[in-house]
Structure 1
């Protein structure tokens, strides 16, 4: 059975990756502007002073404009840095901060490394996803970094996954280690799906 679930996840990820690669630059630009507006509203609604976010790749709904603006507003934003042991280090975002290619070719900040527990003090986690279903289950990209992070946090704050509108689906394949999210942020809306602090 686990093999069937793993196969279903791989197939869905491949389909979603292909769909993202077909998007035009204007569609991606519009998505980034929409996500920034949605995230701005979310941090205001939750009264966020400290949060984590990720630096979007070229095919993800853009988060970089939001990160720059949040730092400019005085919000402390922690950005993830992948480690070979499956955990995430964190670095504080700075205005115009340098970006390098991380372990898996993903954009990561260049700066002082804070250990995995640095994220325990944030008010909000904003994480990437391939898809999320209506119960709040998230399909990641298969490396498990964010599932480990969320699963290890005591008193986990709200967790929102950033996806395109079409990636909120009825159901995603799930395994025992998969962690739900509180909600999703898309270019057009923010939807609460499951209670925070699971």
Structure 2
């Protein structure tokens, strides 16, 4: 792994480098479309209760994935922010049910949430965002721990797939004991199988 500058932790350096590289991409829409084409067969195969994050800012865009899943199966689970850096899970039936919420992320309208909550234990496949990944499935997020907490609650047989652009892949991500690796990472050019779901 390339050494970070003196005084900067490896994780902080990787996060900063990955974010800068992702911001510099000028064709994120086309790259996101290529990623979606790789993702859709996985969703069709594990369609019982898929979780798809709602892309924001420079992340891999997921609207086409959400739209496909809604048309194919009638609903899809999306996350939204709760106090304490936790995520709630909501069964989405239409993209029009989303509105801008915390951090500018589109989330389900508050008045709809109570009747369509989903428990983490019900998720069969989860598409997870990240800032950086390595080929063994290790992941760095934004540092708030939202998805780290969710990953710890997902069932053992839930297939966890990280979505990223090639520029977000690193040779080695430093890990801590609580970190949970992805089973698979999908980029615009490759599908990396890190480990099978139990």
Give the root-mean-square deviation of aligned CA atoms.
Answer: 2.2
| CA separation of 1:22 and 1:69: change in aligned 2, threshold 3 A | same
Give the C-alpha shift of residue 95 in structure 1. 2.5
Q: Which residue does the alignment assign to 2:18?
A: 16
Question: Separation in 2 of the partners of 1:55 and 1:49?
Answer: 19
| CA separation of 1:193 and 1:147: change in aligned 2, threshold 3 A | same
Q: Decide which moves more: 13-22 or 149-158.
A: 149-158
1:177-192 matches, within 5 Å, as 177-192=178-193
1:53-132 matches, within 5 Å, as 53-74=52-73, 76-110=75-109, 111-113=112-114, 118-132=119-133
Question: Separation in 1 of the partners of 2:136 and 2:32?
Answer: 25
Find 2:9's aligned residue among 7, 10, 35: 7
Question: Separation in 2 of the partners of 1:31 and 1:79?
Answer: 22
Question: Separation in 2 of the partners of 1:33 and 1:92?
Answer: 24
- Normalising by structure 2, report the TM-score: 0.86
Q: Which residue does the alignment assign to 1:38?
A: 38
Gaps of 5+ in 2: 1-5
Asked whether the 8 Å contact 1:99–1:107 carries over to 2, the reply is: yes
Asked whether the 8 Å contact 1:84–1:103 carries over to 2, the reply is: no
Give the C-alpha shift of residue 30 in structure 1. 0.5
1:28 aligns with 2:28: yes
Give the C-alpha shift of residue 16 in structure 1. 1.3
Q: Decide which moves more: 95-104 or 53-62.
A: 95-104
| CA separation of 1:16 and 1:135: change in aligned 2, threshold 3 A | same
Question: Separation in 2 of the partners of 1:150 and 1:10?
Answer: 21
| CA separation of 1:49 and 1:154: change in aligned 2, threshold 3 A | closer
Question: Separation in 2 of the partners of 1:186 and 1:66?
Answer: 14
**In structure 1, the residue corresponding to 2:95 is in which secondary structure?**
coil
**Paired residues, what number?**
190
- Normalising by structure 1, report the TM-score: 0.86
Q: Decide which moves more: 104-113 or 127-136.
A: 104-113
Give the C-alpha shift of residue 108 in structure 1. 2.1
